[in-house]
Structure 1
Amino acid sequence: MNASFQPTFTAEQRAWYDRACARIDPQRLQQLLFDIVDIHSPTGAARAASEFMARRLAAAGLDSRYQPMTDTSGNLLAELRGSGGGATLMLYAPIDTHLELDEAERAWTGAKGEADMQPRAQMLDDWVFGLGASNPKAMVATLTEVATALIEAGVPITGDLLVGMADGGMPVDIAARNHAGMSNGVLHLLNRGAAADFALIMKPWNWVYHEEPGMGWFKLRVHGTLGYAGVPHDLPAFRSSVVPAATVIRELDDWLLEYADRNTSGVVKPHGWIAGVRSGNPERPAFPSAITEIFLDVRINPRTSPAEVKSQFAGFVAGLRQRHPDIVVDWEMYGSVPGGTTDPHNWVVQSARRGWEHVEQRTLGTPDLLGGQTDGTALRRYGVPTVRIGWPWPAPNPPLPVAEGLGGMGATYVPDLIPCAHKIMYVVIDTLTRTRKELGL
């Protein structure tokens, strides 16, 4: 093993680390992943999954409790107390899935029976498939396995280990479920006992990140007049909202690319995508709609406020109006989450970097620029220094068909998770077997 990547452990800490890693059981992890994927948990309806995981962590030896938010939604917080005088480290993952995949959603998602687009689990060799099998439930299963292995190895920790899992982690706003989503669950968790000195969030991508983007949701409305299919196209009183929307979409798509380049800094490139267009009534195709709506998500760099992004979008609309004075548009920002960053020299970030390099036996180097948003932004905004660490994603050559475009959010190759579990265990041992003074607290 390359001496350049040896951990900065004492001999005793190294023995604890090796012993704990040896207790990580890929088969147990895979079975838990299968079990939790088989519990459908769309945003705002993750109660059953959270209650299941609360029981599982209690059985592993942690003080675990379910925290309800509504009749259908809740979080879990589990704790393993150390001997005292150390830091509190929280391992965190969301537990809700990004889709419901009921019949209405199948129509707009284009789901055609792919293995990763099913609200039930399938297991094939070392693979687990099903809605959320990779993101977020591979994280749920891996963090649970790390905590379980730590206990089984009998590591005498000084600090306290928290394991937090929350509903509402997906970038959605489910009005029918008390507007679940947009990190509402982790904020509830943080206000109800999840007090940590450091946090580690697991998320796909085999790197170590100290910051993540936020997001801004915008809606553009193109105005016209209500029409009728039986009149000529040159009727002076009629103005289409649908056809001019195509011009707006093309210009908006170009602006999003320029916006991402202009706002890139640190390790974040804040991409944006047009998510959809809504207009008219399919039961009344004879009547062209007076309004066509275009809605989109724009990611927000941690060094750029949502208000600044709103101003940039307003500038785009002003330019659009100047170039196309015949197009009548208005707009609104209807969702905003600021990005979050942690000092890259913070203990938890540096510990994660050391662990990554020890497991990978190579220098971390410059990471790929990041555009994905997680609950890590909320943790950082609440003053919890947070690091993000993950695994290679998406896994290549899945043995069952998976949907294109989502990057395999519902397909997990379990052997890919084990090196990530070792990296997380490094941070756990490195942090929880030291005093607060040693950690700079």
Structure 2
Amino acid sequence: MSEDSTSTEPERTAIAPRRSVAAPERIVDALTVLTAGPTPYGRERPTAERVAAWAADRWPGSTWRVDPLPATAEAPNAANLLATAHLGDAPELLIYSHLDTSLTGDPDADEPVTGSRAELAGLRQATAPDDAALVTGFGLGVARAAAASALVGFTLAADRLRATGRPHRLTLLLAAAGTHRHHPSGLTPSGVTHHLDRHPPPAAAVVAKTGPAGVLTAEPGAMFLRVRLTSSFHPALARESAVPPGGLIAHLGTVIAALEEFRRRHLADRRTDPAAPVGAEVGIGAVAAGSPGKPDLLPGRLELHLYLVTVPGDDPGEIRARLRAVLDETLAGTPLRDCPVTVDGRLVHPAAATAADAPIARHAYAAWTAAHGEPPRPVTGWTGSTDGVVLRGRGVPTVRLGPPSRGPDPDDPRLDRYAVADLVRFADLYADVAVRHSGSSTT
């Protein structure tokens, strides 16, 4: 959140935090159902069906349904979970989170990233006083913790609005394919896009996702890049006659150094406004070369995959051209100078922002203040991107906020820890935003 509008930065006064309404048991029950099985990208339907059946039995006043996505090779069994609560004529508020996790939950499949094949422990809650109780589990940080708070917050708001007879139109979307993925085909299934393509755009949206300690009205975008070097065929036994000598992998460090130089220049060009709400970043996320089954053959292709966080004004074509220019410059005096280099990539979505004085932003600031006892502090240099940019790209005013992580489990960093009290507080906060959006007040 920027500080360009005094109306969005309320004076900091001593405000008592609102007492939580959502029971801790509701949060733990929602998390238990959400984490009862794996929810890998593109295979969310079993979880969507499980959660929908559980929620429909518990909150029959709202409509719960599973909305499958068209099957693709990348997402053969994807589905959104959709809940609606509707009374009279009112502008729609979409409360959004997602079902899929960055890792699959299969230790063997995830081992190249996690470095561990150990079995994952299930959801567990620490034995402690209510205000210190922690819940620990797989995938909580990616979405499941915030999704549980969003689900409970949706039901709280629906119950309050229904009881008072206030007109409202609330939608909860726990989407499929909400984490960034690069597919060779270039086709990227998206649960939120699937939803927006089939329904009128909501009047406003709240993205429930762990993030900074504040309200985000702007988020960066995301871009995937691929660098490919090629050479001729050579067996490992003839490595000195290879081009380059020793083979491509022997010079991997040279390529990585060149990419790190690109990163240094790229970030330096974008460090102009320390108060900017979003920031840039670049990371090398994958390297591929050769055949594990034939290590006696030197690879004729070396690929490096990068994830680049975009900021307003970034042009994908210029970024690709700049990366290629840096590679040409830095590799010219190395043994890789005779290896053809290609750079390609695609923009997943551009950076986007909602006006800091938009009604949904004001509702979020007010709800945060009521929940925490003080206004949210401005967020600067944030580098995390969500489907909030997709919603903003469709013209939907959107804010992002979510419960803070208490860090990885010290015994297994694949597991995330959250304070139950934080999850309860954000369920109340999401409900408060929904009620304010509907024209009512809980103060």
Q: Counterparts of 1:297 and 1:345 in 2: how far apart (Å)?
A: 31
Q: For each residue in 1:195-221, what CA deviation from the matched residue of structure 2 results, as whole angstroms up to 9, or x when unmatched?
A: 310000011122111111221111111
Of the candidates 114, 124, 145, which is equivalent to residue 122 of structure 1?
124
Q: Partner residue of 2:111? A: 107
- Tell me the SS of whatever aligns to 2:254: helix
Deviation of 1:434 after TM superposition, in Å, equals: 5.3
1:242 shift after superposition: 1.6
Counterpart of 2:156?
149
| 1:214-258 deviation per Cα after TM superposition (whole angstroms, max 9, x unaligned) | 211111112223223333636789562222332110121232233
Answer yes or no: is the 8 Å Cα contact 1:321–1:327 preserved in 2.
Answer: no
| Counterpart amino acid of residue 141 in structure 1 | A
Deviations 1:68-96 (A, max 9, x none): 11362111222111332x32111100111
Range that drifts further, 424-433 or 154-163: 154-163
- Does 1:91 pair with 2:101? no
* Residues 387 and 323 of structure 1: CA distance in aligned 2, closer, same or farther (over 3 Å): farther
Match of 2:44 among 43, 46, 64: 46
Name the amino acid aligned to 2:66: Y
Separation (CA, whole Å) in 2 of partners of 1:235 and 1:98: 38
Given that 2:12 and 2:374 are in contact with CA atoms closer than 8 Å, whether structure 1 keeps it comes out as no
Q: Distance in 2 between matches of 1:149 and 1:430?
A: 13
> Per the alignment, in what secondary structure is the counterpart of residue 231 of structure 1?
helix
Secondary structure of residue in 1 paired with 2:146: helix
**1:34/1:231 Cα in 2 relative to 1: closer, same or farther (>3 Å)?**
same
- Within the candidate set 341, 346, 365, 2:358 is matched to 346
1:103 deviation in Å?
A: 5.4
CA contact (8 A) 1:5 1:357 kept: no
Residues 27 and 423 of structure 2 are in contact (CA less than 8 Å); yes or no, is this contact kept in structure 1? Answer: no
Shift of 1:414: 1.8
CA contact (8 A) 1:63 1:79 kept: yes
1:320 pairs with 314, 330, 348, which one? 330
Equivalents in 1 of 2:304, 2:347: separation in Å? Answer: 14
Q: Which residue number in structure 2 is paired with residue 286 of structure 1?
A: 296
User: Are the equivalent residues in 1 in contact too, given 2:228–2:304 (CA < 8 A)?
Assistant: yes
Q: How far apart, CA to CA, are the structure 1 residues paired with 2:229 and 2:87?
A: 59
Residue 228 of structure 2 corresponds to: 221
Task: Give the distance between the partners of 1:133 and 1:365, measured in 2 at CA.
Answer: 24
Q: Does 1:77 align with 2:82?
A: yes
Alpha-carbon distance between aligned partners in 1 of 2:308 and 2:255, rounded to the nearest angstrom: 16
- TM-superposed CA distance for 1:381, in Å, is 0.8
Shift of 1:368: 4.0
Partner of 1:192: 198
Match of 2:4 in 1: none
Structure 1 CA distance, aligned partners of 2:158 and 2:108? Answer: 44
- TM-score of the pair, normalised by structure 2: 0.83
* Larger displacement relative to structure 2 (154-163 or 309-318): 309-318
CA pair 252-232 structure 1, distance change in 2 beyond 3 A = closer
SS across alignment from 1:269 = coil
Name the SS of the counterpart of 1:359 in structure 2: helix
Q: Any conservation in 2 of the 1:81–1:160 contact (CA below 8 Å)?
A: yes
The answer as to whether partners of 2:147 and 2:209 remain within 8 angstroms in 1 is no
- Counterpart amino acid of residue 124 in structure 1: A
CA change 1:322–1:396 in 2 (3 A) is closer
**2:178 aligns to what?**
169
Answer whether contact 1:97 1:170 (CA < 8 A) is retained: yes
Cα distance change of structure 1 residues 221 and 189 upon mapping to structure 2, 3 Å threshold:
same
Task: Classify 1:260/1:5 alpha carbon distance in 2 versus 1 (closer, same or farther; 3 Å).
Answer: farther
Tell me if structure 1 keeps the 8 A contact 2:38–2:105. no
TM superposition shift of 1:39: 2.2
Equivalence for 1:160: 169
Deviation at 1:305, TM superposition (A): 3.7
User: Does structure 1 retain, via aligned residues, the 8 Å contact 2:243–2:338?
Assistant: no
Please say if residues 228 and 288 of structure 1, whose CA atoms lie closer than 8 Å, have aligned partners that are also in contact. Answer: yes
1:90/1:235 CA distance change after superposition, 3 Å: closer
Gap runs ≥5 in structure 1:
8-16, 436-441
- Contact 1:37-1:119 within 8 A present in 2 as well: no
CA offsets per residue over residues 253-303 of structure 1, 9 Å max, x none?
232233234235631112111012111122222221121111111111133
